[in-house]
Copies of this chain bind each other. A is one copy, B any other.
Amino acid sequence: MVAEHVHPASVAAAPVVVASNRGPVSYRRREDGSLVAGRGGGGLVSGLSSIRREGDGGSEGEGGAAVWVCAALGEGDREAARAAGRRLSTDDTGGHHVRMLDIPPDTFAAAYNGIANSVLWFVHHMLYQTPLEPVFDQHFRAQWAAYEEYDTAFADAIAEEAAQGAAVLVQDYHLALVPGLLRARRPDLRIGHFSHTPWAPPDYFRMLPDDVAGQLLRGVLGGDRAGFLTLRWAEAFAACCADVLGAEVVRDGEGRAAEVRFEGRTTRLGVHGLGADADFLRERAHRADVEERMAALRAQIGGPDRKTIVRVDRTELSKNIVRGLYAYRRLLEEHPQWRGRVVHVAFAYPSRQDLAVYRDYTAEVERVAREINAEFGTEGWEPVALHVKDDFARSLAAYRLADVALVNPIRDGMNLVAKEVPVVSDHGCVLVLSREAGAAAELGDEAITVNPYDVEATARALHLALLMDPGERAERTKRLAAAATALPPARWFTDQLRAL
């Protein structure tokens, strides 16, 4: 099959291919009918930029540069993808070579919303109300066929783009089948998969239909490497391979899962704890718009001696915003000295409001916040300042002035908020961190860790956090920032590439 991949002279094959559902650019149609490109950030963009700077991608147009394969997400993207031919204009992408796949909208919706975000996300985060969900019926089967089709489109495109022996970095649960599909098409490639989510333990992963569970694991095992954000998720993946496939798990000298052997192939496991991008954050957090937001927030909080407990999340079922509010209410009940002296600044940015369960969750967040304000609020003090409109500058403003950051997800691949706050904090911030977040593996020693289901313990942690003396707080914040930036995005990316 390899021999069939003859690259047209005008498009050079790439020595590095990155594949992810969301690409580094998105298009929307302006009122005048023209398409405008917006560029995103994140670890992959930094990583690709850095290999371009280092020249690992070879000189462009000859040996070929790195190529990013992604899906068209909306109508603007689709039009741009169709207009562009095989690759988007590098004028739109910040110089990256991007191939955007125009997957049929129904297929994309079924694969992305139906499978990736409603099944795989729920399984890996253990979010189901199990007595009634999930139900794997004929509708699921239709969606699963779409997911296979969507992953196959990626595998086909990568097979076409990748140079002989190229390195391919496949991202996340949307593309779990791609390594296996690609291996069948191009056995010459070095293929890595990286999971940005947690991985479910076997007793939860087994919920998936047997053939689907098997396909997902075989898909990832089609790669030479499977990367995870923390050892815990790598171990869970290995346990699933052993439980579902009967694969052999090889451990290193410290007893950690290091390789999975299955059907004559070996897939190495790797842990790459994506860190915060300190340079970007520090620069961005000191621009004028952030200063403005700080002033507005200070005005909303009131009195200069008031402390702030900040949280910033998408309103995602795993983020545990409701229990966070319960814990705050409990703090005010148990420790009346904080009444009037603290404000819980909660940014809960709506997410997936097309799904009833997310709308209900958002409504519950708002209800509990109102309840607390009604119960404890006074003329000059609103205990909870809830904001639901996404505003990155305001998030950074809250990071800078927070006395306490509450990051209490019930399960989280990593959680970058926990890593970003210490980096930009103005005068030190105590991190109250769920031990079920991947970040706890790196930050747990300097944070106050909590069991996210334990509202009483979380309330106690908030109390201790508010009481922490400024010296210790500043010291801890410094150490948190160091740990949080140990593996900046660009290195996170190039480490994986080198390991492959």
Q: A residues 177-228 with Cβ under 8 Å of B?
A: 201-204, 206-210
B456 touches A410 (CB 8 A): no
Query: 1/0 contact trace for A448-474 toward B, CB 8 Å?
Result: 000101111100000000000000000
Q: Are A456 and B138 in contact (CB under 8 A)?
A: yes
Choose the segment among A123-131, A157-165, A301-309 that binds chain B (4+ C-beta atoms closer than 8 Å): A123-131
Which of A31-39, A317-325, A338-346 is the interface stretch? A317-325
Among B203, B206, B451, B456, contact of A451 (Cβ-Cβ < 8 Å) = B206
B130 to A127, Cβ gap below 8 A? Answer: yes
| A137 contact set on B, CB distance < 8 A | 326, 330, 455-456
Q: Is A132 an interface residue (CB 8 A)?
A: yes
Q: Does A256 contact B (CB under 8 A)?
A: no
Residues of chain B lying within 8 A (CB to CB) of residue A323: 135
Pick from B136, B204, B206: contact of A203, CB below 8 A: B204
Chain B CB within 8 A of A361 CB: yes
For residue A364, CB closer than 8 A to chain B, the reply is: yes
Q: Which residues from B are CB-within-8-Å of A136? A: 451, 453-457
Within 8 A of B (CB), among A320-376: 320, 322-323, 326, 330, 361, 364
Query: Which A residues from 113 to 165 make CB contacts under 8 A with B?
Result: 126-132, 134-138, 140-141
Q: Are B451 and A209 touching (Cβ within 8 A)?
A: yes
Interface size on A, residues (CB 8 A): 41
Contacts of A134 in B (CB 8 A): 453
**Quick one: closest B residue to A201, CB to CB?**
B203
- Closest chain B residue to A140, Cβ basis: B456
Instruction: Determine whether the beta carbon of B453 is less than 8 Å from that of A135.
Output: yes
Question: CB-CB < 8 A to A210: which residues of B?
Answer: 451, 454, 457
- Closest Cβ of chain B to A354, distance in Å, is 17
A149 vs chain B, min Cβ distance (A): 19
Complex CA gap A138/B317 in Å reads: 23
A456 to B457, CA, bound (A): 43
Residue of B nearest to A453 (CB): B207
A455 contacts B127, C-beta separation under 8 Å: no
| Contact assessment for A132 and B204 in the assembled complex, using a CB-CB cutoff below 8 Å | no
Docked-complex contact A410 and B326, CB < 8 angstroms: no
Chain A residues 398-420 with CB under 8 Å of chain B are 410
Chain B contacts for A128, CB-based, 8 A: 129-130
Cα A208 to Cα B457 with chains together (Å): 11
Q: Inside 8 A of A322's CB, which chain B residues have their CB?
A: 131-132
Are A135 and B457 within 8 A (Cβ)? no
Residues of B within 8 A of A454 (CB): 136, 209-210
Indicate which residue in B126, B135, B141 contacts A204 across the interface (CB closer than 8 Å): B126
CB neighbours of A135 from chain B (8 A):
323, 326, 453, 455
Chain B residues with CB under 8 A of A209? 451, 453-454, 456-457
Asked if B141 contacts A456 (CB within 8 A), the reply is yes
Given the complex, which residues of B lie within 8 Å of A236, measured CB to CB? Answer: 203
Q: For the complex, what is the distance from the CA of A130 to the CA of B322, rounded to whole Å? A: 12
- Across the interface, A131 reaches (CB within 8 A) one of B131, B317, B330, B436, namely B317
CB distance from A213 to the nearest CB of B (A): 9
Docked pose: A317 CA to B130 CA in angstroms: 9
For residue A488, give the distance in angstroms from its CB to the closest CB of chain B: 30
List the B side residues contacting A206 at CB < 8 Å: 436, 451
> Is there contact, CB below 8 Å, between B132 and A126?
no
**Chain B nearest Cβ from A132, distance in angstroms:** 6
Q: In the complex, what distance in Å separates the CA atom of A320 from the CA atom of B137?
A: 14
A125 to nearest B CB, angstroms? 8
Query: Which residue in chain B gives the minimum CB-CB distance to A236?
Result: B203
Give complex CA distance A203, B361 in Å.
23
Residues of B within 8 A of A202 (CB): 201
Given contacts A201-B202, A202-B201, A206-B451, contact A127 B131 (CB under 8 A): yes
User: Whole-angstrom distance between the alpha carbons of A317 and B128 in the complex?
Assistant: 13
Measured between alpha carbons, how far is A202 from B201 in the docked complex, in Å?
A: 9
Which residues of chain B come closer than 8 Å to A410, judged between CB atoms? Answer: 130-131
Provide the A273-287 mask, 1 if CB < 8 A to any CB of B, else 0. 000000000000000
6 A-B pairs with the lowest CB-CB distances in the bound complex, closest first:
A129-B129, A131-B317, A201-B203, A137-B455, A136-B454, A209-B454
A-B contact pairs, 5 of them (CB 8 A): A126-B130, A135-B455, A136-B456, A138-B456, A203-B236
Given contacts A135-B453, A210-B457, 13 further A-B contacts (CB under 8 A): A126-B130, A127-B130, A131-B320, A135-B455, A136-B451, A136-B453, A137-B455, A201-B202, A201-B204, A203-B204, A206-B436, A207-B451, A209-B451
